[in-house]
Amino acid sequence: MLTLYSYWRSSAAYRVRIALNLKGLAYEQVPVHLVKDGGQQHNPDYQALNPQQLLPLLIDDSRGAVPIAQSLAIIEYLEEVFPETTLLPCDPVQRAQVRALALYLACDVHPLNNLRVLQYLSGELGVSEAGKEAWYQHWLHSGFSAIEAGLALFNEGLSLGERPGYLEACLIPQLYNACRFNCDLDAYPRILAMAARCESLDAFKQAAPQMQPDAQ
């Protein structure tokens, strides 16, 4: 059995939910609230599982129940252990191009705008809500401009031709956040077109934050 420690609004957990759904894998969710009680990810029981005190965390009971942290490491694990429905192109060059765009989203854009950073801005640094939103939008637009250009590789298709995969699992959660923070997305027609093709699919619908058992 696969167990995913998740939070409904966690972008990183959202990525993994999409990947699990695209692969057709059943899993059980254990909600970990990132805000309530000072952040349940800091509780000793969870910290014992994941010293990073971050989400998501995957446990595969069929393979020793060893906790696997970090969303992209989890997705790579799923790709290796359950290869039947691949999330990456077969061609090594195309695979590298997809990974590069996904890593840019997950490792360059998202970390500047995740909950820990926003809490630090408004808490320790005393940044106003308007200032925090300006910070978010600046880094989002910087990242999305590069992603928009990069999506030209796919000639208005999806990263696997007619099928979404690794890249879309990273893109859709970041787009969800962009909408939450009132980002104007008119300059990104390729991103919006890719998203429109994904959001009608059950794998994405079922992974959406509002569909999670802990959604508020």
Output the domain CATH number for residue 50: 3.40.30.10
Domain end residue (candidates: 85, 104, 127): 85
Instruction: Note whether residue 211 is domain-resident.
Output: no
The count of structural domains within the chain is 2
65, 99: one domain: no
At residue 155, φ and ψ (nearest 5 deg) are 50, 45
- Residue 72 falls within a domain, yes or no? yes
What was the pLDDT predicted at 85?
95
Same domain assignment for residues 102 and 77: no
DSSP string, 99-124: HHHHHIIIIIIGGGGSHHHHHHHHTT
pTM over 0.85: yes
Q: Is residue 19 a part of any domain in this protein?
A: yes
Do 50 and 128 fall within a single domain? no
Q: How far apart are CA 87 and CA 76, in angstroms?
A: 9
pLDDT at 116: 81
Number of neighbours of residue 141 by Cβ within 10 angstroms: 17
Give residue 74's domain range: 2-85
44 and 99 inside one domain: no
Q: Is 215 domain-assigned?
A: no
**pLDDT value at residue 112:** 78
User: Do 48 and 104 belong to one domain?
Assistant: no
Which residues touch 168 (CB under 8 Å, ≥6 apart)?
A: 18, 158, 159, 194, 198, 204
| 16 shares its domain with 36 | yes
114, 187: one domain:
yes
Q: Are residues 165 and 188 in the same domain?
A: yes
Both 102 and 163 in a single domain? yes
Both 146 and 71 in one domain: the answer is no
* Tens place of pLDDT per residue across the chain (216 aa): 999 999 999 999 999 999 999 999 999 999 999 999 989 999 999 999 999 999 999 999 999 999 999 999 999 999 999 999 999 999 999 999 999 999 999 998 888 787 788 888 888 888 888 888 888 888 889 999 999 999 999 988 999 999 999 999 999 999 998 998 889 999 999 999 999 999 899 999 999 999 999 997
d(CA 122, CA 138): 16
Q: What is the pLDDT of residue 184?
A: 92
Domain boundary among 69, 85, 101: 85
Q: Which pLDDT score, from 0 to 100, does residue 10 have? A: 93
Q: Domain for residue 210, yes or no? A: no
- Of 85, 119, 136, the domain-final residue: 85
Where is 4: in which H helix or E strand? strand 2-6
For residue 140, being part of any structural domain is answered with: yes
Q: Does residue 81 belong to any structural domain of this protein?
A: yes
CATH number of the domain that 183 lies in?
1.20.1050.10
pLDDT at 143: 92
Q: Verify that 32 and 103 share a domain, yes or no.
A: no
| 125 and 77 fall within a common domain | no
